[in-house]
Chain A
Amino acid sequence: MTKRTFVLYNAIMISQEKLTLLTESAKYDVSCSSSGSNRKNAGGIGNGNAYGCCHSFTPDGRCISLLKILLSNDCIFNCRYCMSRSDADVPRATATPDEICELTVDFYKRNYIEGLFLSSAVCVSPNHAMEQLLVTVKKLRLEYGFHGYIHVKGIPHADKLLVTETAKYADRMSYNMELPTERSLKLLAPQKSRESLLVPMRDLAREAQEFKLEKRKGHFLPAGQTTQVIVGASPEKDGQILRLSQALYRANGLKRVYYSSYVPVVHDSLLPDVGGGALREHRLYQADWLLRFYGFSVEELLPEEENLATEFDPKCAWALRNMHLFPVEVNRAPLEALLRVPGIGARSAYKITEARRYAKLTFEHLKKMRVVLKRARHFITASGKFFGTENETAVRGLLSAGEAQKNAEQLSLFSNPENAFSALTGEL
């Protein structure tokens, strides 16, 4: 009845302690997406799902898509911010490739996960660590017949051949920049250099392109590369970080840059004792989305030596600085202009361009279509009508995220902008 050709049920179950230890050290890596690869099932188990899939959500609100685990937390590097650094007094563990493979296949079969996110401390030497990663993913693909998603971390300073070989079996690889400048790297991660991270990234990007051009058989990182930057452990400004991201997107064709607000897990005189805060991380992601999907360039968003505004989202801040471009008429504005309206995202912009082919849109229509007008109404007209506030200072006041402002005034039925608006449109 079964067509399985790859059956290896030795039931090598990893121990609870080892699993916990190797997960605890991997969890601060924020990358978790499983999208971008539609690897087909070719006998065995699993396939890729190009849209990605979230399997669970932990109480910190993050999704579990992949089994995020270290092969080993026994590290020779001494990066100050890392809980597995060599001079930390923590229990050490190393899993065998078979333990990882069994765990992946059995979790996958029960639909707990979409695939494996495999990383490792620099165990023994960079080459040894990379080799162990390669052995594990190769085994998982060839012996266990696993076709689900695999994300492998690149180890800095590892041999190029090992990295290239790994890329043939992984769906995605990533080298973590961690710190945006060479200076911070020197200070906090002395064994890593900018070169040891950027060169392999560039090599992989080039090889992936060659692979595509020559239409070679098999796979070579179908889901591309990503990286991660820690925010708040070093003094770099958002402007600097986003310039790095833009350069990586343009030059190395990276799929994503992840921003991880620094969580103080170790105490060190060189590191801040408080975390980076969720808002800064959130604003960075918003700006990142603007770079990737909304046609913005970082130069439009902020100067190099500044941080993103906390009271407005980056698009809103940009629009407030460029009030001369607004309002735009929703019935005529090109898609690119709609995407630049604060509060209108890709989905709303698409809805508007679809709907206006059939009818002249009014504010009523937009409301019914669930286009969020809280911010947008100051920047658009619908059939020539404008329901926003002309005065830029007033708009600033209305849109700033500060709660205090909202509560400071005597409340009336119309003092709340939403109410005032629904009164105008006749809903109230």
Chain B
Amino acid sequence: MIYFYDGSQDAFLTAFVRAFHDPDARLTSTRCQLTLGQETVFVNNDPACAARARERLSSFDKHFAHDLDRLLRSGSESKDAVAFAYFQLLAQKKRPVRGMLAESAVLAAEELMRKISHELDRMHGFIRFTESASGALYAPIAPDNDVCDLVLPHFKARLPGFPFVIHDVKRKKAAVYDGENVFYAPLERAEVVLSADEDGWQSLWKSYFSAVNIPSRERLKQQRSYLPVRYRKFMTEFT
């Protein structure tokens, strides 16, 4: 049976509980191709059921909440299946399964979580802020995984008192820090009026970027593997 859920953690857990004993269970939060004869069910969010599942699974592994959060953020199409298999194994073994790398379910989950952490690290480096006339900083991003709000604390710690907006243009949402408080909101598009100096600093950065390169040692393949082209869209030095 195919279990549709709305993508939220609670709905996932509700679906998880309902599908647990179904040998042909398939969880999904996205549109998928239905095959003939396959039964489908829409799982409604049941907070009480989700809370019970959460508590039980957390008692097996104290990092359960973290893993669930990370896995559901993945942009991979297989994330629901991977998370389902991983937590199913956790429920069966009744103890942390993280180290059981000989199990495919664990390997697949580790792989997704590693990708998310990796992208998070990349975002810490690759985000480019532009300064608006009001002094607030604005950065558009389009990450593979839903990491927009995970990125925020890093910048809040290093830019205290500087208001900034990190805008995930792919998922149309934003993480906002107003200099004191943090909030997350849906955001379709943003208009930014640049500060007077912004162009000057941007062109200085571009000059720096080309001056620090050693042309006689061109290694474009290496550059591409460290800094994939899809991330360059919003990076000042590539525009």
Contact = CB atoms under 8 A, between A and B. Distances in A.
Interface of A: 1-4, 11, 13-14, 16, 19-20, 23-24, 26-28, 41, 43, 45-47, 49, 51, 53-64, 67-68, 103, 106-107, 109-112, 114, 147-148, 263, 275, 278, 351, 354-355, 357-359, 361, 365, 368-369
Nearest to B196: A11
B213 interface: yes
B178 interface: yes
Given A58-B212, A64-B212, A112-B236, A1 B125 contact: no
- Interchain residue pairs A-B with the least CB separation, the first 6: A61-B222, A61-B219, A355-B101, A23-B211, A359-B102, A58-B213
A110 B131 contact: yes
A27 B212 contact: yes
Interface residues of B, number: 56
B8 interface: no
A355 B209 contact: no
A368 B160 contact: no
A53 B124 contact: yes
B224 to A, nearest CB: 9
Contacts of A61: 217, 219-223, 226
Contacts of B220: 59, 61
Contacts of A110: 128-131, 137, 201, 205, 236
B216 A47 contact: no
A60 B125 contact: no
Interface string B178-214: 1110000000000000000100110111011101111
User: Interface SS of chain A: helix, strand, loop or mixed?
Assistant: loop
Contacts of B204: 13-14, 16, 19, 103, 107
A355 B214 contact: no
A278 B217 contact: yes
Contacts of B127: 111
Contact of B161 (A4, A26, A359): A4
Contact of A20 (B211, B226, B227): B211
Contacts of B205: 107, 110, 112
Interface in B156-185: 157-163, 178-180
A41 B160 CA distance: 8
Given A55-B125, A109-B131, A28 B99 contact: no
B124 A59 contact: no
Contacts of A24: 211
B179 to A, nearest CB: 5
A27 B209 contact: no
A60 B219 contact: yes
Nearest to B206: A16
B104 A368 contact: yes
| Interface hub of A2, A61, A64, A351 (most chain B Cβ within 10 A) | A61
B161 A2 contact: yes
A20 B209 CA distance: 9
Given A51-B121, A61-B217, A263-B217, 16 more contacts: A2-B179, A13-B197, A27-B212, A27-B214, A28-B214, A41-B160, A57-B226, A58-B212, A60-B213, A61-B219, A63-B226, A109-B162, A110-B137, A351-B101, A359-B100, A369-B102
A354 B98 CA distance: 9
A284 to B, nearest CB: 16
